C-alpha cells in the first residue's frame, strides 16, 4: 500500500544556481567584528540591542576575534597610531570578508583634519560600504548593512573555484 512514509522518502529537489545559494547563505549570516573606536561604537551597540535588533539580518553574533568574523565594522576615528593595528586585524580575517566604514571619521577623517587622524579608513582597507553620519543612527547602520547584503548577492563565489586568477591575491 502507498502510505505517507513512501511520500516522505521521495527526495525533494530544489533547482538553483550554486552562486545564488552560496551568496544567500553568506548574506544572511554575516558575523560582524565590531571595532568600536569612538562614539560610533555606542550606536553600533544600540543597533545590536533589542530595539533595532540586528539579529533580523542574521548579524547578531558580534565576535570578539577577527578570525571568527566576516564583516569588519570600523566604527569611529582611526588615528595614525591605531592604523597599523586596524590593518593587522583585517589581515587576520579569513576570506570572504567585507568592510563597512561607519561614520564620518572612518569615511574621510570627519571633523578631524589633523596630524593625528587617518583621513579615511579606505587608505588602508578596501571598504565595501560607506555610512555617513556623526554618528550614524542605528537606522543608517542597518541601511548600510542591507546595502552590503545587496552587494553580497551580486558576487560570484564559484568563480574562484574554477578561475585561479579570480581568487584574492592578498
Partner 1 sequence: MLDQLDNFPILKKVLESLETNFKDSILDKTFEKNELSVLIKKEDLIGVLTYLKTEQGFNALNDMIGIDNLPYAAEGKKRFSVYYQLYRFQDFQRIRIKVDTEENEGIDSIVSLYKSSDWAEREIYDMFGITFSSHPDLRRIYTPDNFEGYPLRKDFPMEGKK
Coil vs helix vs strand at 48 = helix
The nearer residue to partner 1, 115 or 162, going by C-beta atoms, is: 115
How far apart (Å, rounded) are the C-alpha atoms in residues 50 and 159?
38
Minimum CB separation from partner 1 for residue 159, in Å?
39
Least Cβ distance, residue 36 to partner 1 (angstroms): 21
Q: Which is nearer to partner 1, 32 or 76 (CB)?
A: 76
Q: Identify which of residues 47 and 108 has a Cβ nearer to partner 1 in the complex.
A: 108
- Shortest distance, position 124 Cβ to partner 1, whole Å: 14
- Kindly tell me the burial class for residue 61, based on how many C-beta atoms sit within 10 Å of its own C-beta (0-12, 13-18, 19 or more): middle
3-class SS at 79? strand
Q: Minimum distance between the CB of residue 79 and partner 1, rounded to whole angstroms?
A: 9
Output 84 or 94, the one with its CB closest to partner 1.
Answer: 84
Using CB under 8 A as the criterion, which residues of the chain lie in contact with partner 1 when the complex forms?
80-81, 113-116
Q: Are 73 and 105 in contact (CB under 8 A)?
A: no
- Cα–Cα nearest to 95, from 46, 144, 22: 22
Amino acid at each position: 500500500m502507498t502510505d505517507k512514509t513512501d511520500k516522505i522518502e521521495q527526495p525533494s529537489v530544489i533547482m538553483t544556481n550554486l552562486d545564488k545559494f552560496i551568496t544567500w547563505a553568506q548574506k544572511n549570516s554575516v558575523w560582524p567584528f565590531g571595532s568600536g573606536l569612538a562614539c560610533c561604537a555606542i550606536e553600533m551597540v544600540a543597533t545590536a540591542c533589542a530595539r533595532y535588533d540586528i539579529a533580523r539580518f542574521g548579524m547578531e553574533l558580534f565576535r570578539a576575534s577577527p578570525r571568527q568574523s566576516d564583516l569588519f565594522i570600523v566604527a569611529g576615528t582611526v588615528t595614525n597610531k591605531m592604523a597599523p593595528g586596524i590593518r593587522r586585524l583585517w589581515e587576520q580575517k579569513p576570506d570572504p570578508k567585507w568592510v563597512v566604514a561607519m561614520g564620518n571619521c572612518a569615511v574621510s577623517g570627519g571633523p578631524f583634519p589633523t596630524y593625528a587622524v587617518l583621513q579615511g579608513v579606505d587608505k588602508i582597507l578596501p571598504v565595501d560600504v560607506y555610512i555617513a553620519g556623526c554618528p550614524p543612527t542605528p537606522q543608517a547602520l542597518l541601511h548600510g548593512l542591507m546595502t552590503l547584503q545587496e552587494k553580497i548577492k551580486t558576487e560570484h563565489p564559484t568563480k574562484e573555484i574554477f578561475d585561479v586568477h579570480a581568487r584574492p591575491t592578498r
